[in-house]
Amino acid sequence: MPRTTKQSRTSRAVRERDPVSVKRPSTEQAETLEIYDTTLRDGAQAEDVSFSAEDKVLIAQKLDSLGVHFIEGGWPGANPKDIEFFRMIKTIPLKHADVIAFGSTRKASNTVRKDPNLHALLGADTKIITLFGKTWSLHVTDALGISLHKNLELIGDSIAYLRGKGRHVFYDAEHFFDGYKTNPDYALSTIRKAVESGAERVILCDTNGGAMPWEIREICGVVQRECGVPLGIHAHNDCEMAVANSLVAIEMGIQQVQGTINGIGERCGNANLCSIIPNLALKMKRQALPNTLSHLKDVSGFVTEIANLMPNKHQPYVGDSAFAHKGGVHIHAVLKNAATYEHIDPARVGNRQRMLISDYGGRSGLLDKIEAYGIMLSKNHAKVDELVHTLKERESQGYQFEGAEGSFELLMRKAMGSHTSSFRLLGFRVIVEKKQEDGSLLSEATVMVQVGDAVEHTAAIGAGPVNALDHALRKALEKFYPQLREVKLLDYKVRVLAANRGTESKVRVLIESGDHKDKWGTVGVSENIIEATWQALVDSIEYKLLSKN
């Protein structure tokens, strides 16, 4: 591990007695920045997130491919799932990252040799252990119910014990900024004790997420003068300041930054590494990772998928809307020079520029979209006027094409006269039946369609009316178009429009469909949810049957 010239003789002696090999950043980066990911531990504490041990292994491999230096795998003393993860990850070769076990200092009632938490940490068999302890006097007296001196003892002998077992130790100074603002002398004394006992990193934590950037700047400056080992920053986002606080700390010389992918975490979340990493590389010119920045959006989406969360499309850098343009003036300018409304080239973080189709988009955006489908028209072509008029009329009825580009392409091709429907609806019926109060619902759909001169009449049941209608339509068409067997309904959303009309309100149905190589969105609008669903389903199938598919 690299050492600074300010290290105490005590901490140096502890480290030198049994050096352990730890993966490090390249030589030119060794004294600059370390990326420490805590998605698998702190991120897993987010509401609606529950990772299995297998999930955590998959995410760890993805983080390693991104090039992060440290992956905090969990708290082995807290639950069996984390113990299983540490067992599994030992069989997985990682190229860049060291996996770290996380836990607390010993309990006041235990000696280090009899403390279950410390033994669980050792049992995880990681080279590095992150140990957190109390820094805020309020927590020492009110939460632990012990004296300030006793807390120093817990910190010191817990770290020394783990160091004596051949582990590197990072000391996580929990609630440091709150503790410093309340009792600076005591907060600093906890850090001194950690360093004297062998801690090789001290992580300053804004655990409650209440610190402001100017406070971070001032306090980090004080700690740097007092602490003999490299420092880290661990910020929470309760005041929407986690990324800002992390960047300010780095600007002050902090060497390690901790956070989670997409900023997931307890309460309002943690510092978002998907913002911190590109800000460091592209804004502060501090390249902390290997040449993997273009994989950032992919990693973000992977974690979102494994966590079974809805993607935040408005997330900076990696969100689908981060480089999406809707206003006509914006689109017109971006088509001439992307720098007019984009602060970076989206490809640098694995994202892409998008022109949204709406009645705000104007001719420039519409023409650009039309050209993307291989149709070249002049700005004054009559078909452009027709399509603009149709688009605005549809959106006034409640249609939304921003998330339904499959429906937009069909609308555009029909306006251009380049698409003919693959089938014609002759009728459908959907029945939902419940025979007993405590019985299950039965949903059945009947569909009659015409393909060429042939008429097909089919029925199907499903888990609900939408599922039944989807099954019946596919059943009717697959004998004519066997490629439809590849199509799966991936997502289904219903939005009530003009809710002041209650159950008479129009609804907008957005469907996302996909096959083995593509995904597309379609839309339907009606006062009847089944009719709106039918429109979106039909567009989904028609899109699949376009010749390009």
Residue 375's contacts (CB-CB under 8 Å, 6 or more residues apart) are: 412, 416, 418
Look at the chain and report how many structural domains it folds into.
Answer: 3
* 73 in the same domain as 205: yes
Q: What is the CATH number of the domain that holds 536?
A: 3.30.160.340
**531 lies in some domain:** yes
Residues 328 and 417 in one domain: no
Q: Read off the pLDDT of residues 92-132 as tens digits, 9 standing for 90 and up.
A: 999 999 999 999 999 999 999 999 999 999 999 999 999 99
Is pLDDT at 464 greater than 90 in this prediction? no
Q: Answer with the residue of higher pLDDT: 7 or 451.
A: 451
Residue 8 has pLDDT above 60, yes or no: no
Read off the pLDDT of each residue in 162-179 and give the average, rounded to a whole number.
97
pLDDT band at 192 (very low <50, low <70, confident <90, very high): very high
The confidence score (pLDDT) of residue 53 equals 93
Q: Domain limits at 270?
A: 35-306
Assess whether 138 and 170 both reside in one domain: yes
Q: Quick one: 281 and 371 in the same domain? A: no
473 occurs within a structural domain: no
Assess contact for 216 and 249: CB atoms under 8 A. yes
354 and 228 share one domain: no
pLDDT per residue as tens digits for the range 475-486: 999 999 999 998
Q: Are residues 297 and 329 in the same domain?
A: no
Asked if residue 262 belongs to a domain, the reply is yes
Greater pLDDT, 360 or 287? 287
Give the strand order in the sheet containing 506-514: 488-497, 506-514, 519-526
- Give the model's pLDDT for residue 33: 94
Q: What is the pLDDT of residues 442-458, one digit of tens each?
A: 899 999 999 999 999 99
Residue 405 region by backbone torsions, left for phi larger than 0, else alpha for psi between -120 and 50, else beta: alpha
b/e per residue, 109-132, with b = 16+ CB within 10 A? eeebeebebbbbbbebebebbbbb
Judged against a pLDDT cut of 50, whether residue 353 lies above it is answered with yes
pLDDT number for residue 301: 87
For the chain, give the mean pLDDT: 86
Model confidence at 533, pLDDT cuts 50, 70, 90, reads very high
Position 308 confidence tier, pLDDT thresholds 50, 70, 90: confident
Whether 399 has a pLDDT exceeding 80, the answer reads no
Same domain, 55 and 138: yes
Of 272, 306, 340, the domain-final residue: 306
Query: pLDDT band at residue 59, thresholds of 50, 70 and 90?
Result: very high
165 and 255 within one domain: yes
For residues 176-198, average pLDDT: 97
Instruction: Tell whether 214 and 159 lie within a shared domain.
Output: yes
Across 191-200, 260-269, 376-385, 415-424, least confident range: 376-385
Q: Does residue 272 share a domain with residue 410?
A: no
Read off the pLDDT of residues 417-437 as tens digits, 9 standing for 90 and up. 777 888 999 999 999 988 777
488 pLDDT tier (thresholds 50, 70, 90): confident
Residues 81 and 208 in one domain: yes
Average pLDDT of the segment spanning 181-195: 97
Please give the pLDDT value at position 183: 96
Query: How many CB atoms within 10 Å of residue 225?
Result: 7
Residue predicted with more confidence, 405 or 157 = 157
- Give the span between the Cα atoms of 55 and 50, in whole angstroms: 9
In this predicted structure, which of 46-55, 136-145, 396-405, 506-515 has the lowest mean pLDDT?
396-405
